[in-house]
Amino acid sequence: MSTSVEPAVKKEHPMEKILRMDRIPHIWCPTCGLGTVVTALATALDESEIDLNKVAIVSGIGCTGRVAGYMKLDSFHTTHGRAIPFAFGMHVARPDLKTIVFSGDGDLVSIGGNHLIHTARRNADLMVICVNNFIYAMTGGQVAPTTPITAKSSTSPFGNFEHPFNLPLLAASSGAVYVARWTALHIRRLTKAFKEALNKRGFSFVEVIAPCSTLYARRNKLGTGLDLMKFYHDNCVIKHGCDLKEVDIDYQSKIIVGKFVDIEKPTYIDCLNKGYKQVFGDKYKPYGGGDGNNGN
């Protein structure tokens, strides 16, 4: 069937318009889930019909940090852990842009952990995608703040004994207005979550569990990334609005996924306008295109 019409058809992948094709094929390992997450974000941007000139993407360092270089958007590849501060500065300077932070767990919650909680506290209008592969993948598989207890890594060859972070709880308790967790297998739900987060005013945080075949799966003898995808298929439980204290991830245990938080709260720029308006009255010209009353 594909042979009958093939010669006349232009063979261009639909994602090619949003990817920097001169940098593809990417460097990610076979059976890594990151490409799937990029496809989900590209599909979400495509389907929500946002003007791509009004979108900026910021990444830190790491495997996931390569995303900013692969997407044909205004992009910024920052220093390690500082993706959120750069994005916050960009957001304050250009509030008309939709700023997306796309980075990994080692970048966002380890070295950049303070930036994450404080930007969530201020409720800046950013969309943060944290791809969690349970390990520092690019630097050789060291133990990360998300590595589950008893999982082996290159710096914990006898098994990790530190308590890992519960990322949705961390983001929600710091003040995020949209918190969701999906895996690289739940592509349609993930795309929907990205679309909701893109349209959300305020700090939205989406954690994506992605398989790391070369380091996490190999060290722990879990097979390939395909085996991890099968594991997600069998062990993910969808619980929307679940109590976030229950969503801890133990080694090879059930993973609770879903949309956990979706609330409305005045953003950083709303609060800034409101605060200055109270002090200066009509002399104050609201910043960011609003009328200064959005936060009321």
Q: In a 3-state reduction of DSSP, which class is residue 137? A: coil
**Residue 126 vs 197, nearer CB to another protein:** 197
**Residue 34 vs 236, nearer CB to another protein:** 34
Binding segment (CB under 8 A) for another protein, from list 29-37, 126-134, 174-182, 256-264: 29-37
Considering the rule CB under 8 A, would residue 69 count as an interface residue with another protein?
no
- Alpha-carbon distance values, 99 to 12, 143, 188, 207, 282 (Å): 28, 29, 22, 17, 30
The site that binds another protein (CB under 8 A) totals a number of residues, namely: 36
Kindly report the number of other CB atoms within 10 A of residue 224's CB atom. Answer: 16
Q: Name which position in 17, 20, 34, 65 contacts another protein (CB under 8 A).
A: 34
| Cα 208 to the center of its chain, rounded Å | 7
Q: Concatenated DSSP letters for 85-97?
A: HHHHHHHHH-TTS
Binding segment (CB under 8 A) for another protein, from list 75-83, 114-122, 220-228, 237-245: 220-228
Residues β-bridged to residue 104: 131
Site string for another protein, 131-170 (x = CB under 8 A): ----------------------------------------
Instruction: Give me the sheet containing 236-238, strands edge to edge.
Output: 74-77, 55-59, 98-104, 126-132, 204-209, 178-183, 255-262, 236-238
Considering the rule CB under 8 A, would residue 176 count as an interface residue with another protein?
no
Considering the rule CB under 8 A, would residue 187 count as an interface residue with another protein?
yes
The answer to whether residues 147 and 224 touch, using CB atoms and an 8 Å cutoff, is: no
Shortest spacing between CB 22 and another protein, in angstroms:
13
Please report, as ranges, the residues that interact with another protein according to CB under 8 A. 1-2, 5, 8-11, 13-16, 19, 24-26, 28-36, 39-40, 43, 185, 187-188, 191, 224-226, 229-230
